[in-house]
Structure 1
Amino acid sequence: MALLDSAVWGKRFFSDGWRDAAGEQPVVEPATGEQLATAGLATAEDVTRASARAAEAQRVWAATSPQRRAAVLRRAGELLAEHATEIEDWLVREAGSVRAKAAFEAQLAVGECFECAGLPTHPQGEVLTSEDARWSMSRRRPAGVVSVIAPFNFPLVLGLRSVAPALALGNAVLLKPDPRTAVSGGVVIARVFEEAGLPAGVLHLLPGDGSVGRAVVEAPEVRVVSFTGSTPVGRAIGEQAGRLLKRAHLELGGNNALVVLPGADVAKAASAGAFGSYLHQGQICMTTGRHIVHESLLEEYTAALAAKAAALPVGDPAREDVALGPLIDRRQLERVHGIVTDSVAAGATLAAGGEIVGAGYRATVLSGLTTDMPAWREEIFGPVAPVIGFSTLEEAARIVNDCEYGLSVGILGDVGTAMKLADRIDSGKVHINEQTVSDEPNAPFGGVKASGTGSRFGGAAANVEAFTETQWVTVRPDIADYPF
């Protein structure tokens, strides 16, 4: 039986089973505009009910044995693997993913569940010293109800990255996916955990507009908000959560740099740069948005990158063998083209691309830029590779750090020189002899500056920190004597 049969979820949302929704939204294929199905939309009132129910169910789920919780996570991973082809099809058609990216995302989701299956039996505290005749301990306890707000670009993984560890550690979850990817970023997760045996009321799928987003932050039962998305929206959520004294884990945007050092293999560097800039049409927070190349290689690298870009076909990934699929919607497509044309008008040179192709955009290379041009300063979220030169390591470090974001940096070339540069740059992640796009379930993921609040996802330590609270516990053999 198909995991994602729309007869189960069409025009519904998941909250103590599949409920008829008051609102609806078409599920649209960005490559063609074709309607694939109809998703149900939740309301703020639905969030109020779901949050109260989640708080009730969470108490029981937290008291469930660690092995039982681990079994649910393992089974969820198995289901994701068993239905990988079906899930990939939705990632291709709904999210505009090329087949290779969809397969990578589906496999990463499997690994996320398996990695998180170890969290229920991970050490949950430590024994402390004490000046008194007592035992002193700290222990980690589930935060309670966690709200997860996920984006459209890697919709399955970027939702599951918070949902899976939060559930594994005994929390209940309210999941609000981007409405444009309500199936691959929401229905898949709900169906997998439903079939894996997660008790009713522990996970709620609540697609909706901004009012639903505000509601999943403001619901009084919610203690932690995990948001992945744009920096402007993240700022608003952070302000809202701060006013309510709730923890907000904010994984935000990036304008990531790839530094090509003198002596680097130009052919390999251009291949890495093309992958970093053009994977999933550049719609990734880790996308290589700035290519910083030593002046001795600048002309050769720009030409090699432009040749790579010109050879990448653009089209409908569900029906053609293409390297780049559509952008998520027309608004984003026109925004990308506007940034390119504005930069060219300001004096940049178009070395490749710069054209709208149906619902997609050709892989683009810009050279001759200055650092105040929009293509250099802004997070484009499209397949655009701006290239600029540098002469000294100090200049390279200055250019890398002269950015409001600090998510991911790649450095290509001599390892010793790369290590010296890495020590001078501000970034949540540094990859030497790799491009900027990389993620593994057991590795801490997060950014600094406008890329986030320094929170990390991935790995036992980061996930325990993110989704639990610390409680101090002391124990004496007898009631203590007090001077009152």
Structure 2
Amino acid sequence: MALLDDGAWQGKVWTGAWTEGSGGTYSAVEPSTGDSLGDVGKATPEDVHTAAVRAVEAQKGWAALPFEERAAVLRRAGDVLAANSDEIKGWLARESGAILPFGDFQVHTSAQECYEASALPSHPYGELLRTGSPRLSFARRVPAGVVGVIAPFNVPTILAIRAVAPALALGNAVILKPDPRTAISGGAMFARVFADAGLPAGVLQVLPGGADVGEALVVEPAVRIIAFTGSTRAGRSVGALAGQHLKRAHLELGGNSALIVMGDVDVRGAASVGAWGTFAHSGQICMATSRHLVHESIAEEYTQILTEKVEKLPVGDPFRDHVALGPLIDAGQRDRVHGLVTASVEGGATVRTGGTYEGLFYRPTVLGNVSVDAPAYQEEIFGPVAPVTPFSSLDEVVELAAGTEYGLSLGILTKDVYAGLQLAERIPTGLVHINDQTVNDEAVAPFGGVGASGTGSRHGGPMANIEAFTETQWVTLRGDLPIYPF
């Protein structure tokens, strides 16, 4: 049987079993058609507290299991994801508007996150320390306890599992709050995946809900770590609230990532790279190429080729049609994107193609002559819009690339790769890709941004994940009681 075909998830939240949420239900809407995909259970802050009490008890037994058993659960979860790829990518297409190849990428990467996490339980977890006393002294990493994961709508599987999997593998319980708009593919799906993998009841709970549920998760005393992925605005609130309650918050926030195109590149190839960076998943990716900084010697040629490519990209229902771009997630996001385009045009930018929409389907858009004070330059667009801005010198492009509050990802296209690396060292950013666009993600690599793109606390890869989801404990051991003067 497929993961969700039995309909047991309809109208329910996951607490180790499908149960009714205190907030009732709401309808999951398919952006392409406006049709309902089913009823989703809605949690309340009271449900968060009840789940936390349950998680504290479940975590004790989970952490006490032999490490081989925890590792086996994570491996099986990866296998379940891989075996149900077609079903999951179908839900992703219908619920989040992802084209099927992007759904394939999400499922593959999500499975890899589980496989990589399965190595964490057997990873060395401490170090011997020197001591001036006759004793054994060492530091070890212990589970934090309960981890809260708040995941967004845009890439709902990867952006949940990259925190859920390592946190579980390291002996924690997890309460996952998926975005209500993608609570099936980003929530209910994981409940079934880990249940099928043999995870004990209560170790993972899934509570869809609004901002009040997220706030309750942050302030709940039993939740010791928050892994949040979302907008910078919301992340500031999460970080401030977590600080008040003396708990760690790993914040992966917005981006306004630049692609620097040097004058020595193959222009047609560079335009192809830039097109993918901007228009993959209709630009609804935090790492999306949001600014094309192109050397003035090739800026017009690059813009023209980019425009020609974009004009050929089909837009439509990714579940039923063969398209390159699906819908934006909702009308609010569409209107925000269109407002940025309109305001930038009023400020002097030119629409080379696009700038229109039907329903939630926004035409891929290229903007030329975009000034540094244009809204489409300064703000995260999170939509299928490619602003192009020319530059004349290395000093100028450094100033341009570093000229917003964000610092998530950076791409540099050049034949002189060493010069590209030197250039990258001058620009604050969490991720750098020489001769590639800005959208890259692997389960083995640490991930995070600087500035308004995040706190610099990141996870991904064994060392970063261990640091993110455990506490350091100092331990000493003596053979005999010491003698004190009291």
d(CA) in 2 for partners of 1:186, 1:201: 15
Q: Give yes or no for the alignment of 1:9 onto 2:1.
A: no
* Structure-1 separation of matches of 2:37 and 2:146: 32
My pick for the range that moved more, 474-483 or 425-434, is 474-483
Match of 1:61 in 2: 62
CA contact (8 A) 1:6 1:37 kept: no
Give the SS at the match of 2:121: helix
**CA-to-aligned-CA distance 1:150-170 (integer Å, 9 cap, x gap):** 000000110011000000000
Alpha-carbon deviation of 1:479? 1.1
Q: Which residue of 2 aligns with 1:481?
A: 483
TM-aligned CA deviation for residue 28 of structure 1: 0.8
In the alignment, the residues of structure 1 paired with residue 4 and residue 273 of structure 2 have an alpha-carbon distance, to the nearest angstrom, of: 35
Aligned to 1:463: 465
Aligned partner of 1:308 in structure 2 is 309
Letter of the 2:60 counterpart? R
CA distance in 2, matches of 1:434, 1:477: 58
Is residue 78–residue 110 contact of structure 1 (8 Å, CA) maintained in 2? yes
Q: Which runs of 5+ in 1 are unaligned?
A: none
TM-superposed deviation, 1:16:
2.9
User: Counterparts of 2:113 and 2:293 in 1: how far apart (Å)?
Assistant: 33
Q: CA deviation at 1:319?
A: 1.3
Q: Confirm or deny that 1:363 pairs with 2:364.
A: yes
String of CA shifts for 1:263-304, please: whole Å, max 9, x gaps.
111111100100000000000000000000111111111111
Alpha-carbon shift at residue 473 of structure 1 (Å):
0.5
Aligned residues: 484
Amino acid corresponding to residue 3 of structure 2 in structure 1: L
Q: Which residue identity is paired with 1:330? A: A
CA distance in 1, matches of 2:456, 2:485: 45
Please report how far the alpha carbon of residue 205 of structure 1 lies from its aligned counterpart in structure 2 after TM superposition: 0.4
Structure 1 residue 7: Cα displacement: 1.9
Amino acid at match of 2:8: V
For 1:202, the equivalent position in structure 2 comes to 203
Does the Cα contact within 8 Å between 1:166 and 1:173 map onto a contact in 2?
yes
Partner of 1:76: 77
- 1:6 deviates by 5.1
- Cα 1:6/1:281, change in 2 over 3 Å: farther
**8 Å CA contact retained: 1:32, 1:359:** no
User: 2:464 is aligned with what amino acid?
Assistant: A
Q: For residue 171 of structure 1, what is the amino acid of its counterpart?
A: N
Q: Which residue of 1 aligns with 2:20?
A: 20
Superposed CA offset, 1:168-190 (max 9, x none): 00000010000000000001111
- SS of equivalent residue, structure 1 residue 271: helix
| Residues 252 and 448 in structure 2, CA contact (< 8 A), matched pair in contact too | yes
8 Å CA contact 1:127–1:136 kept in 2: the answer is: yes
Distance 2:16 2:77 in 1: 18
Query: What percent identity do the matched residue pairs reach?
Result: 58
State the partner residue of 2:454: 452
Q: Counterpart of 1:461 in structure 2: which amino acid?
A: M
SS at match of 1:68: helix
Distance 2:212 2:28 in 1: 20
**Alignment partners' CA distance in 1, 2:175 and 2:45:** 12
- Corresponding position: 1:426 with 2:428: yes
**Superposed counterparts of 1:308-387, under 5 Å:** 308-387=309-388
| CA contact 1:315–1:357 (8 Å) conserved in 2 | no
Deviation at 1:416, TM superposition (A): 2.1
1:224-283 C-alpha deviation (Å, 9 max, x unpaired): 000000001000011110000011000000000000012111111100100000000000
Indicate whether 1:283 and 2:251 are aligned: no
By how many angstroms is 1:455 displaced? 1.2
Letter aligned with residue 242 of structure 1: G
Match of 2:150 in 1: 149
Counterpart contact for 1:27–1:180, Cα < 8 Å: yes
Tell which deviates more after alignment, 389-398 or 224-233: 389-398
Could you tell me which residue of structure 2 aligns to residue 111 of structure 1?
112
What residue ranges of structure 2 are gaps of 5+ in the alignment? none
Equivalent position of 1:88 in the other structure: 89
Q: What's the Cα RMSD here?
A: 0.8
Query: How far did 1:356 drift?
Result: 0.4
Q: Map of 1:209-220 to 2, 5 A cutoff?
A: 209-220=210-221
| 1:130-155 alpha-carbon deviations (Å, 9 max, x no partner) | 12221110000000000000000000
Superposition map of 1:204-283 within 5 A: 204-283=205-284
Q: Is the 8 A contact 1:96 1:327 kept in 2?
A: yes
Q: Secondary structure of the residue that 2:7 maps to in structure 1?
A: helix
SS at match of 2:127: strand
- The 8 Å contact of residues 147 and 225 in structure 2, kept in 1 or not, is answered as yes
SS in 2 for 1:155: coil
1:338 is paired with a residue of what secondary structure? helix
TM superposition score normalised by structure 1: 0.99
Q: Which residue of 2 aligns with 1:46?
A: 47
C-alpha distance in 1 between matches for 2:161 and 2:409:
21
> How far apart in 2 are the matches of 1:212 and 1:390?
45
Three-state SS of the structure 2 residue aligned to 1:215 is helix
Is the Cα contact below 8 Å between 2:21 and 2:47 reproduced in 1?
Answer: no
Using the TM superposition, give the Cα deviation of residue 51 of structure 1 relative to its aligned residue in structure 2, in angstroms: 0.3
Q: CA deviation at 1:368?
A: 1.0
Listed one character per residue, the Cα deviations across residues 297-344 of structure 1 (whole Å, up to 9, x for unaligned) are 111111111111111111111111110000000111111111101111
Q: Is the 8 A contact 1:314 1:357 kept in 2?
A: no
- One-letter amino acid of the counterpart of residue 102, structure 1: G
Q: What's the secondary structure of 1:9's corresponding residue? A: coil
Give the TM-score normalised by structure 2: 0.99
Q: 1:365 to 1:300 in 2, by over 3 A?
A: same
How many Å apart are 1:358 and its aligned residue? 3.0
- CA distance in 2 between counterparts of 1:483 and 1:323 reads 77
